[in-house]
Amino acid sequence: MLTLQLAVFAVCPFVLALTTHAFAPASSIVSSRTTNTPIRQRTVPSKLHESKDANMTDEEREIAMEKALKAMTAFSNKYTENTGTFYCSDKSIPAVVIKGLAEHKVTLGAPLCPCRFYEDKEKEAKEGYWNCPCVPMRERHECHCMLFLTEDNDFVGEETVG
- In the residue annotation, 115 being an active-site residue is answered as yes
Give strand pairing partners of 149: 86
Selected catalytic residue, list 88, 113, 115, 132: 115
Dihedral angle over CA of 111, 20, 30, 117, nearest 10: 0
- Cα R_g (the chain), whole angstroms: 15
Q: Distance between CA 66 and CA 47 in Å, rounded?
A: 26
Count the alpha carbons within 13 Å of 114 in the hemisphere toward its beta carbon. Answer: 27
- CB contact at 8 A, 161 and 98: yes
Among 1, 20, 4, 10, smallest CA distance to 100 is for 20
Contacts of 24 (CB under 8 A, 6+ apart): 32, 92, 95
Catalytic residue list: 115
